[in-house]
Amino acid sequence: MRTGLSLSARQWEKMRRHVTGCAPLEACGLLAGKGCRVESVFFVANAAQSPVRFRMDPQEQLKTFNQIEARGLELVGIFHSHPAGPERPSPTDVAEAAYPVVHLIWFVDGEAWRARGFWIEAGRVSEVDLYILRSE
Protein backbone atom coordinates (compact mmCIF):
# COMPACT_ATOMS: atom_id res chain seq x y z
CA MET A 1 0.00 0.00 0.00
CA ARG A 2 1.23 3.47 -0.89
CA THR A 3 0.71 6.33 1.51
CA GLY A 4 1.49 9.18 -0.86
CA LEU A 5 2.04 10.27 -4.44
CA SER A 6 4.14 13.18 -5.74
CA LEU A 7 3.33 15.17 -8.85
CA SER A 8 4.78 18.29 -10.40
CA ALA A 9 2.67 21.44 -10.52
CA ARG A 10 2.72 21.11 -14.31
CA GLN A 11 1.31 17.57 -14.25
CA TRP A 12 -1.32 18.69 -11.77
CA GLU A 13 -2.36 21.57 -14.04
CA LYS A 14 -2.39 19.30 -17.11
CA MET A 15 -4.86 16.96 -15.39
CA ARG A 16 -6.94 19.80 -14.03
CA ARG A 17 -7.36 21.34 -17.48
CA HIS A 18 -8.33 17.98 -18.94
CA VAL A 19 -11.00 17.14 -16.36
CA THR A 20 -12.35 20.70 -16.54
CA GLY A 21 -12.55 20.50 -20.33
CA CYS A 22 -14.40 17.16 -20.24
CA ALA A 23 -16.99 18.29 -17.69
CA PRO A 24 -19.89 17.68 -17.30
CA LEU A 25 -18.72 14.23 -18.45
CA GLU A 26 -16.33 12.22 -16.31
CA ALA A 27 -12.73 12.23 -17.53
CA CYS A 28 -10.09 9.59 -16.85
CA GLY A 29 -6.46 8.77 -17.36
CA LEU A 30 -3.35 7.00 -16.15
CA LEU A 31 -0.32 8.16 -14.18
CA ALA A 32 3.03 6.53 -14.87
CA GLY A 33 6.17 6.84 -12.82
CA LYS A 34 8.42 5.11 -10.36
CA GLY A 35 7.53 4.37 -6.78
CA CYS A 36 5.65 7.37 -5.42
CA ARG A 37 6.75 9.83 -8.11
CA VAL A 38 4.62 10.55 -11.19
CA GLU A 39 6.67 11.02 -14.38
CA SER A 40 3.96 11.11 -17.05
CA VAL A 41 0.25 11.88 -17.26
CA PHE A 42 -1.79 10.10 -19.92
CA PHE A 43 -5.37 10.93 -20.87
CA VAL A 44 -7.62 8.04 -21.85
CA ALA A 45 -11.03 8.52 -23.48
CA ASN A 46 -14.03 7.74 -21.31
CA ALA A 47 -15.86 5.17 -23.44
CA ALA A 48 -18.91 5.49 -21.18
CA GLN A 49 -19.30 9.21 -22.12
CA SER A 50 -21.22 9.69 -18.92
CA PRO A 51 -21.44 12.36 -16.21
CA VAL A 52 -21.60 9.71 -13.49
CA ARG A 53 -19.36 6.86 -14.66
CA PHE A 54 -16.19 6.13 -16.54
CA ARG A 55 -14.89 3.19 -18.49
CA MET A 56 -11.51 3.61 -20.10
CA ASP A 57 -11.50 3.00 -23.83
CA PRO A 58 -9.87 -0.47 -23.93
CA GLN A 59 -7.70 0.19 -27.00
CA GLU A 60 -6.41 3.52 -25.70
CA GLN A 61 -5.77 1.95 -22.33
CA LEU A 62 -3.76 -0.88 -23.89
CA LYS A 63 -1.81 1.57 -26.06
CA THR A 64 -1.00 3.64 -22.98
CA PHE A 65 0.12 0.59 -21.00
CA ASN A 66 2.50 -0.21 -23.87
CA GLN A 67 3.89 3.34 -23.87
CA ILE A 68 4.39 3.20 -20.11
CA GLU A 69 6.28 -0.07 -20.43
CA ALA A 70 8.35 1.22 -23.36
CA ARG A 71 9.50 4.14 -21.23
CA GLY A 72 10.56 1.83 -18.42
CA LEU A 73 7.92 3.23 -16.09
CA GLU A 74 5.19 1.59 -14.07
CA LEU A 75 1.55 2.41 -13.48
CA VAL A 76 1.44 4.41 -10.24
CA GLY A 77 -2.00 6.00 -10.42
CA ILE A 78 -5.39 6.21 -12.09
CA PHE A 79 -7.34 9.43 -12.13
CA HIS A 80 -10.91 10.27 -12.96
CA SER A 81 -13.32 13.07 -12.24
CA HIS A 82 -16.61 13.41 -10.43
CA PRO A 83 -18.12 16.55 -11.97
CA ALA A 84 -21.23 16.06 -9.84
CA GLY A 85 -19.45 14.63 -6.79
CA PRO A 86 -18.76 12.93 -4.48
CA GLU A 87 -15.22 13.89 -3.51
CA ARG A 88 -14.32 10.29 -2.77
CA PRO A 89 -14.56 6.97 -4.64
CA SER A 90 -18.11 5.89 -5.41
CA PRO A 91 -19.30 2.39 -4.48
CA THR A 92 -18.80 1.48 -8.17
CA ASP A 93 -15.23 2.80 -8.09
CA VAL A 94 -14.50 0.67 -5.04
CA ALA A 95 -16.12 -2.41 -6.57
CA GLU A 96 -14.27 -1.99 -9.90
CA ALA A 97 -10.83 -0.96 -8.60
CA ALA A 98 -8.57 -3.47 -10.32
CA TYR A 99 -5.05 -2.08 -9.86
CA PRO A 100 -2.93 -1.63 -6.74
CA VAL A 101 -2.24 2.05 -7.46
CA VAL A 102 -3.32 5.41 -6.10
CA HIS A 103 -6.78 6.47 -7.29
CA LEU A 104 -7.06 10.21 -7.80
CA ILE A 105 -10.55 11.67 -7.74
CA TRP A 106 -11.13 15.16 -9.15
CA PHE A 107 -14.21 16.96 -7.90
CA VAL A 108 -15.66 20.46 -7.83
CA ASP A 109 -15.36 22.36 -4.59
CA GLY A 110 -17.44 25.51 -5.05
CA GLU A 111 -15.87 26.98 -8.19
CA ALA A 112 -12.54 25.16 -7.99
CA TRP A 113 -11.52 21.70 -9.10
CA ARG A 114 -9.59 19.76 -6.49
CA ALA A 115 -8.29 16.22 -6.23
CA ARG A 116 -7.82 13.71 -3.44
CA GLY A 117 -5.91 10.45 -3.52
CA PHE A 118 -7.14 7.08 -2.28
CA TRP A 119 -5.87 3.56 -1.90
CA ILE A 120 -8.56 0.98 -2.64
CA GLU A 121 -7.92 -2.61 -1.71
CA ALA A 122 -10.33 -5.46 -1.04
CA GLY A 123 -13.26 -3.08 -0.78
CA ARG A 124 -11.55 -0.80 1.72
CA VAL A 125 -10.72 2.84 1.02
CA SER A 126 -8.05 4.92 2.72
CA GLU A 127 -6.91 8.40 1.80
CA VAL A 128 -3.31 8.97 0.74
CA ASP A 129 -1.36 12.23 0.67
CA LEU A 130 -0.78 14.03 -2.62
CA TYR A 131 2.38 16.14 -2.86
CA ILE A 132 2.55 18.86 -5.47
CA LEU A 133 6.14 19.75 -6.26
CA ARG A 134 6.54 23.38 -7.24
CA SER A 135 9.46 22.96 -9.61
CA GLU A 136 10.99 20.10 -11.58
Q: Which is nearer to Zn ion, 50 or 66 (CB)?
A: 50
39 catalytic per annotation? no
Which candidate, 102, 82, 83, 100, places its Cα nearest to that of 92? 82
Stretch that binds Zn ion, among 6-14, 16-24, 36-44, 87-95 (CB under 5 A): 87-95
Shortest separation between residue 66's beta carbon and Zn ion, angstroms: 25
Determine which residue in the list 6, 20, 40, 90 makes contact with Zn ion, applying CB under 5 A.
90
> Which residues, in sequence order, are CB contacts of 80 under 8 Å at separation 6+?
19, 26, 27, 28, 29, 46, 54, 93, 103, 104, 105, 106
Q: Which residues are known to be catalytic?
A: 26
The residues of the shown chain that bind Zn ion, judged by CB under 5 A, are 90, 93
